Amino acid sequence: MKIGIIGAGNVGSTIAYTLVINNIASEIVLVDTNTAKAKAEANDIMHATPVSHNVKINDGDYEDIKGAGIVIITAGSRRKPGQTRTDLLEINTKIFASIVPEIVKYAPESIIIIASNPVDVMAHITLKLSGFPPNRIIASGTILDTARLQSILSRHLAISPKYINAYVLGEHGDSQTLIWSGLKNGKITKKLMEDIDNEVRYGGKKIIEGKGATFYGIGCCVARLCQAIINDENAVFTVSSHRSEAEGIKDVFASYPTVINKNGIGKILKPEISNEEKQLLIKSIEAVKANTKTALAAINK
């Protein structure tokens, strides 16, 4: 499948590289306003194809994404040290207002995956600007946060992270809700839960403080979503999708365990959850709703 990637920064280029070394796409097009950067990244990755997989990769313009089955948006102002995801709200809303119509024009049948922050809000903006059916708009949501949680728990429990039933739901942000109810293991004490919560919730910030950006984790996660779509896997990931109603809150994007297949978003699942977790999840989704209202007002100015 041909995949277009809008944004050739750290995240976009890492996704492209991951797609190539895992032989997930047949063709990749990198689009960026910094055309020299897009060309350099495409050429660098292309030089890996003789020893990995014969995936065609080029830089290009929007018209070059014509025929893409998946378009990934990573473009936008990246989060700087001390900056929250919601600080990026107005800046990235304006950027998306210029990107999404071009995707609609040149790749009208594509599934769009959003990895730009604040990702839940940007997905809602994409839905409104594109007019696409909701199943074809996927935000990376808390897929990375859940991966962080499961990888940390894996170290403590000596269990493969693939078999750990703990999730992060709601907003991809500081209000994200860690769901422990499905985890049945006496080794996880309340103190350890608090420490892990802090590590998961603020792990991205610490990485940004240390190296300036996060891109390996999210790059792998988005590439895996592409693989699930292309192979029609019906695989389950905690991505963010449009909900007509979530925990009593209407018309909002939020992360839940979600089936991903050739149509994009499939069935949305609801894991075991305690009353305390539910109240935290409601607050998280309310935060997304409030930010979404601000963003939608910005594009209507």
pLDDT tens sequence across 276-296: 999 999 999 999 999 999 898
pLDDT tens sequence across 140-184: 999 999 999 999 999 988 889 888 889 999 999 889 999 998 887
State mean pLDDT over 41-69: 98
pLDDT of residue 120: 96
Model pTM above 0.85? yes
pLDDT of residue 300: 73
233 contact partners, CB below 8 Å, separation of at least 6 = 227, 260, 261
Q: Are strands 264-268 and 235-246 parallel, antiparallel or unpaired?
A: unpaired
Dihedral pair phi/psi, residue 10, rounded to 5°: -60, -45
pLDDT of residue 185: 66
Question: Taking all residues of the chain, what is their mean pLDDT, rounded to a whole number?
Answer: 93
**Which CATH homologous superfamily contains domain 2-139?**
NAD(P)-binding Rossmann-like Domain (3.40.50.720)
pLDDT of residue 26: 97
Cis peptide before 118 (omega within 30 of 0): yes
Percent of all residues in the chain with a pLDDT value above 70, rounded to a whole number: 97
Which is catalytic among the residues 47, 53, 124, 172?
A: 172
Annotation says 242 is catalytic: no
First and final CA of the chain: distance in angstroms? 37
pLDDT tens sequence across 224-281: 999 999 999 999 999 999 999 999 999 999 999 999 999 999 999 988 899 999 999 9
Residue 186 has pLDDT above 70, yes or no: no
Distance CA 84, CA 117 (A): 9
pLDDT of residue 45: 98
> What are the residue boundaries of the structural domains of the chain, listed by start?
2-139, 143-299
Instruction: Give yes or no on whether 2-139 and 143-299 have one common fold.
Output: no
Residue 17 has pLDDT above 80, yes or no: yes
- Domain 143-299 sits in CATH at 3.90.110.10
Distance CA 156, CA 86 (A): 32
Distance CA 165, CA 146 (A): 10
pLDDT of residue 191: 87
